[in-house]
């Protein structure tokens, strides 16, 4: 879809991008990452001809972009930047309408599109369309920036640290929203970031750059488990095993597990526990409400008396969680297993520490 061939960009004495070749598949999120000054932003900016490469070629759908007029090219590529760059004299609606207006869309089409996009990024159109950028919070401005980039439904999106200038909590939300939008729209995205966790969370492929050169271009899993050289190894850090866990959903690791109801007798509980150390207790709707330890069994006669009822919402995971979250819960609570619930908070199984360890070991191998 997008192919950079031997792209080099020289500023005076410094070589910002050095013989870079990379290919980004349609519908994939490619994240450029590296220490500052590694040429990642330059790479992004040659892709929509905000900068002209000193040498080399860039192809989009097989077409050399130097044959496309820069303005036309850019109108077909969404562009979102860290400092957002919303136009302060225009309303949110007019900001989002920028590219459709440049493309001479009809008034009604633009209005409809603006509304659609505000809903897509989770802002109420009635409330936000007529606000001015100065009336927005940082997170809201970032979302409008993304909405504006998506306005003319471009197949390609270039994003330069789009979630950089906001607090960590807001960034987390914006990232989750990005994942949701990307699953829906399947854009081809090139994103620049310096936040490795963000890259691992969002990328289909990560391109690690150093001094203008591409060092490794691979899936996050591969980069974490098989760093190409010492630079990448150091860059991803010593906690890369932990980072890798955040790429792995718990879906494949859920084991069926026994459960008991509060009304069950001790005998039934004992049968359910068997050789286990404990068993999850669910209410009549099947939602976990606590657990029973094997050691407590002898002391009581009914299940009700033996239940430990911790804050089960703090403990249970939904089936969309990652192994990293599972591990974090286990360590936090001191458990060797964590219950997993479905959308309606009903118990569907559990994740065990043993499985997490096994997954980590697989990656190392």
Vertex 257 angle, CA 256 and 259, to 5°: 135
Instruction: Closer to another protein by CB, 50 or 120: give it.
Output: 50
User: What's the half-sphere exposure (Cβ side, CA atoms, 13 Å) at 83?
Assistant: 3
Cβ-in-10-Å burial (0-12, 13-18, 19+) of 242 comes to middle
Instruction: Closer to another protein by CB, 158 or 209: give it.
Output: 158
Instruction: Closer to another protein by CB, 154 or 288: give it.
Output: 154
DSSP type of residue 191: E
At closest approach, how far in Å is the CB of 92 from another protein?
A: 10
Instruction: Closer to another protein by CB, 72 or 304: give it.
Output: 72
Instruction: Report the distance separating Cα 244 and Cα 101, nearest Å.
Output: 43
Instruction: Closer to another protein by CB, 91 or 283: give it.
Output: 91
At closest approach, how far in Å is the CB of 102 from another protein?
A: 6
Instruction: Report the distance separating Cα 219 and Cα 133, nearest Å.
Output: 37
At closest approach, how far in Å is the CB of 73 from another protein?
A: 8
- Where along the sequence are the contacts to another protein (CB under 8 A)? 48, 50, 70-76, 79, 81, 83-91, 98-99, 102, 132-134, 145, 148-149, 158
Q: Concatenated DSSP letters for 205-263?
A: EEEEEETTEEEEEE-HHHHHHS-SSHHHHHHH-TTHHHHHHTTSBSGGG-B---EEETT
Instruction: Closer to another protein by CB, 155 or 249: give it.
Output: 155
At closest approach, how far in Å is the CB of 223 from another protein?
A: 28
Q: Which helix (H) or strand (E) holds 180?
A: helix 168-185
Strands 2-11 and 14-24: antiparallel
Cβ-in-10-Å burial (0-12, 13-18, 19+) of 116 comes to middle
At closest approach, how far in Å is the CB of 145 from another protein?
A: 8
How far the first Cα of the chain sits from its last, in Å, is 33
Instruction: Closer to another protein by CB, 100 or 349: give it.
Output: 100
At closest approach, how far in Å is the CB of 12 from another protein?
A: 15
At closest approach, how far in Å is the CB of 13 from another protein?
A: 19
């Amino acid at each position: 879809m997008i192919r950079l061939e031997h792209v080099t960009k020289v500023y005076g004495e410094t070589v910002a991008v050095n013989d870079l070749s990379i290919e980004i598949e349609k519908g994939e999120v490619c994240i450029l990452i590296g220490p500052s000054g590694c040429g990642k932003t330059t790479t992004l900016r040659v892709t929509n001809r905000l900068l002209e490469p000193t040498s080399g070629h860039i192809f989009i759908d097989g077409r050399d972009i130097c044959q496309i007029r820069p303005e036309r090219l850019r109108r077909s590529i969404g562009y979102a930047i860290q400092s957002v760059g919303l136009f302060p004299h225009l309303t949110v609606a007019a900001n989002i309408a920028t590219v459709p207006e440049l493309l001479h869309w009809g008034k009604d089409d633009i209005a409809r599109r603006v509304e659609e996009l505000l809903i897509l990024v989770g802002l109420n159109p009635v409330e936000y369309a007529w606000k001015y950028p100065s009336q927005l919070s940082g997170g809201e401005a970032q979302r409008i920036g993304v909405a504006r980039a998506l306005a003319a439904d471009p197949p390609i999106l270039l994003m330069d640290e789009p979630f950089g200038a906001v607090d960590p909590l807001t960034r987390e939300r914006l990232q989750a929203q990005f994942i949701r939008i990307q699953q829906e729209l399947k854009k081809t995205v090139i994103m620049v970031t310096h936040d490795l966790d963000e890259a691992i969370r969002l990328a289909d492929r990560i391109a690690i750059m150093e001094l203008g050169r591409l060092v490794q271009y691979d899936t996050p899993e591969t980069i974490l488990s098989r760093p190409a050289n010492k630079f990448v190894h150091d860059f991803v850090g010593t906690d890369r095993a932990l980072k890798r866990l955040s790429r792995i959903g718990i879906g494949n690791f859920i084991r069926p597990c026994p459960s008991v109801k509060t009304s069950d007798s001790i005998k039934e509980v004992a049968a359910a526990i068997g050789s286990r150390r404990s068993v999850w207790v669910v209410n009549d709707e099947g939602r976990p409400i606590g657990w029973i330890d094997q050691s407590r069994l002898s002391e009581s006669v009914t299940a009700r008396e033996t239940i430990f009822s911790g804050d089960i919402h703090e403990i249970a995971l939904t089936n969309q969680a990652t192994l990293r979250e599972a591990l974090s819960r286990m360590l936090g609570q001191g458990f060797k297993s964590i219950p997993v619930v479905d959308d309606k908070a009903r118990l569907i199984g559990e994740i065990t520490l043993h499985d997490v360890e096994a997954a980590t070991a697989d990656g190392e191998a």
